[in-house]
Amino acid sequence: MPVRVLITGVSGYVGSALVPRLVRDGHAVRGFARSPERVDAAGVELDDLVLGDAVTGAGLERALDGVQVAYFLIHSMSGPGATAFADQERQAAERFATAAAAAGVRRIVYLGGLVPADGAVSRHLASRLVVEEAVLAAAPQSIALRASIVIGARSRSFRFLVRLIDRLPVLALPAWRGNRTQPIDGRDVLEFLARAATAPAALGGRSWDIAGPEVMSYQELLERIAEAMLVDRPKLGLGVTMTPVASVVAAAVAGEDPGLITPLMESLEHDLLPRTQDAAPAFGVRLHGFAAAVERALRELEALEEVGAR
């Protein structure tokens, strides 16, 4: 049954892709963003847009009015200082959760990150857990989805890896190269999110780990992306991590913000694997393989920017 939906972060990679998917399913979709220019730049066609700022709480009451399902897709991964993004995410999540509860929202859907089994979480993942706890407590049927690296042309983590492979003459692989993860196709993430809008109540009130069908080390991840890019880069295995220094260098090479890359690279220092494999059957999602995901993402990325190695 169609519902009235709010998508925060509607100008971002996931939010902008989710709009047409939910409209296609017959849902009434409202967007929430800081500026109409950012929404237009993302190519989002949306008649119902509320302007505001979740960090300050501006516009939330109006945005959530009459909404049954709200997507919280706001991530603050940059900013000065070691804790800037975490503080912003916490403030935004708490204000959003309070406003959603007051508006009587039935379900909040959140996309966070997989958590290491040993409990050692990076700043990035710790921040995601704080947000997850806030949204799960705010509405009884809320659903938190946890994913590792998302393979998609507009996924900043995937673009970062592609640019490193493209621009570095030698791939220096830190000590975390042997750690494992299960990257997921961006199309599958979108499918999980879309199905979460009307998933049975029994699936709510908890987090779900979503992942692709293949387990691989980070070294294998880079090697397989490089293979799909038709390049063969010499590799240098390092016995140390050096994340604070390496992340700054890698960010400069990839043309990215160190405020984003440093916490992301901290997350690579542990295995990031799903606790269980039950999410796909529970939500009825058929998963794409890694090779198909990378080929599609590279093809779409080439339409957005030059990928020299191809």
Identify the pLDDT of residue 151: 97
Lowest mean pLDDT among 98-102, 167-171, 263-267, 301-305: 263-267
Asked whether residue 124 carries a pLDDT value surpassing 80, the answer given is no
Per-residue confidence band for 5, with pLDDT thresholds at 50, 70 and 90? very high
Domain boundaries, the chain: 4-149+183-212+272-287
pTM value is 0.91
- Name the token pair of 96: 């959003």
Lowest mean pLDDT among 8-12, 269-273, 306-310: 306-310
Mean pLDDT computed over 266-288:
92
Identify the pLDDT of residue 310: 47
Query: Position 67: which residue type?
Result: V
Mean pLDDT computed over 19-23:
95
- CA gyration radius, the chain: 19
pLDDT, one tens digit per residue, over 169-186 is: 888 787 788 999 999 999
**CATH superfamily placement of domain 4-149+183-212+272-287:** NAD(P)-binding Rossmann-like Domain (3.40.50.720)
Backbone angle region of 79, left / alpha / beta, with phi > 0 → left and psi within -120 to 50 → alpha: left
Mean pLDDT computed over 264-282:
88
pLDDT, one tens digit per residue, over 233-264 is: 888 777 656 666 667 767 777 777 776 677 67
